Structure 1
Amino acid sequence: MLDILLVEDDYDLAATVVQYLELEAIRCDHASNGVQGLKLLQGHDYDALLLDLNLPKLDGLTLCRQLRDSGYDLPVLMLTARDQLQDKLDGFRAGTDDFLTKPFELDELVVRTRALARRRSGQTRILRYGELEMDLYKHEVSRAGRALKLSPTGWKLLEALLREAPAAVARQRLEAIVWGESLPDSNVLKVHIHHVRKAIDSGFPFSMLETVPSYGFALRDHDD
């Protein structure tokens, strides 16, 4: 069952959406303002966010922007009564993935929600895990504030690992992310992983890049 958060200050609309989604086997929490929504997001792992644009305390654009700046790759569907192009452009700049203009059909909401929940958002600006931070806009990566140097291939590998951390990523998936269908010789991934490990772990008190035997690799924080 999908786990969704709806942030909407219209209680009647929210109740209707929550009930309809539950009929479609989609569990839905509800927050009536942006601050409450942000607190729920920080304490739960949702599959997607349904976000009203006009919200009390913290508006939808600001909430979405804060999520992206903090590294959340949660897919966001913005719900809005505004249908002007500029409003949508502002939303995409803030980091939303899709728009649905009110009033909308509940069937369409379900279809779009399921489609979004099948993928993580590409709108994330900063990826963080433990001491590691990757700024996708500035193309900078650091550990504990120290700038790291990575090759283009190393960058792709670390980005893939950061997006899944602390879960392990299979060797075959890493190869597909970096080289697509033109798979390299068996040792090439091993060599690049060695360079990534050297870049992010050398000079630090503990290693973050771990080998998962017979599977792949994972980033692990010492507190995990």
Structure 2
Amino acid sequence: MLTVLLVEDDLDLAATVVQYLSLEGVECDHASNGVAGLELMRRQQYDVLLLDLNLPKLDGLSVCQQLRRDGNDTSILMLTARDQLQDKLAGFDSGTDDYLVKPFELQELVVRIKALAKRRSGQTRVLRWADLEMNLDSKQVTRAGRPIKLSPLAWQLLEELMRAAPAVVAKAQLEQSLWGDDLPDSNALKVHLHHLRKALAGADAVVETVAGQGFALRGGGH
């Protein structure tokens, strides 16, 4: 069953949404202000966050920004009565993945939820796995707080693996990410993976080869 959190201060709308989603097989928790919503998101795992823009205590943009700074990669659907382009751009800048303007059809809401639940958000600015932390803004990787030096290609490799961890990333996907359609010789990926493994030596996170499938970031008790 899909689980979502609705952060909405209009209690009548919230009750309608929660009831409709439950009929559609979607379990929905509700918070009526931004602070409560942020606390729930930090305590529990949800497939999608439905986030109103105008909220008491902490507005939707601020909730979104704090979650992305935390490294939370839950997909976020912003609900708002504002349909101006500038408002939408502000939402995307703060880390939302999709926008739904009020009033909306509940059927469309369900379609959007199901689409967003299939993926993790690409909007998070901090990735974490085991004792590794990758800050996409400062372009720094640390292991247990200590910086690790990576070449640009090793950085791209690690980012792909951290976004997917602990799932396997296919060899072809890694090559496409690094070189696009202009692939170098067949050993190039192996060489860069070797350099990445050397850079991560001593870390809890390890790059594993999964025979016939690709590569995955494992370790750290995950």
TM-score range, shorter chain: 0.7 to 0.9
Give me the TM-score of the superposition, normalised by structure 1.
Answer: 0.85
**What are the within-5 Å matches in structure 2 for residues 161-200 of structure 1?**
161-180=161-180, 187-200=187-200
**What are the within-5 Å matches in structure 2 for residues 145-224 of structure 1?**
145-180=145-180, 187-201=187-201, 204=202, 206-214=203-211, 215-224=213-222
Q: Are the aligned partners of 1:209 and 1:217 in contact in 2 as well (CA < 8 Å)?
A: no
Mark the runs of 5 or more structure 1 residues left unpaired by the alignment: none
* SS of alignment partner, residue 121 of structure 2: coil
Q: Are the aligned partners of 2:21 and 2:110 in contact in 1 as well (CA < 8 Å)?
A: yes
Shift of 1:140: 2.2
CA displacement 1:121-158 (0-9 Å, x = unmatched): 22111112232121222322222233222223211210
Mark the runs of 5 or more structure 2 residues left unpaired by the alignment: none
Shift of 1:184: 5.8
**Taking every aligned residue pair, what percent have the same amino acid on both sides?**
64
One-letter identity of the residue aligned with 1:35: V
Task: Give the aligned CA root-mean-square deviation in angstroms.
Answer: 2.3
Taking the aligned partners of 1:197 and 1:207, their CA distance within structure 2 comes to 12
CA displacement 1:188-220 (0-9 Å, x = unmatched): 33222111111122xx3x442142542443334
Q: Which residue of 2 aligns with 1:19?
A: 19
Q: Are the aligned partners of 2:131 and 2:205 in contact in 1 as well (CA < 8 Å)?
A: no
**What are the within-5 Å matches in structure 2 for residues 33-44 of structure 1?**
33-44=33-44
**Aligned pair count?**
221
Deviating beyond 6 angstroms after TM superposition, the runs of 4 or more aligned structure 1 residues are: none
**What are the within-5 Å matches in structure 2 for residues 1-224 of structure 1?**
1-180=1-180, 187-201=187-201, 204=202, 206-214=203-211, 215-224=213-222
One-letter identity of the residue aligned with 2:2: L
- Which 10-residue stretch deviates more, 24-33 or 181-190? 181-190
Q: Are the aligned partners of 1:78 and 1:96 in contact in 2 as well (CA < 8 Å)?
A: yes
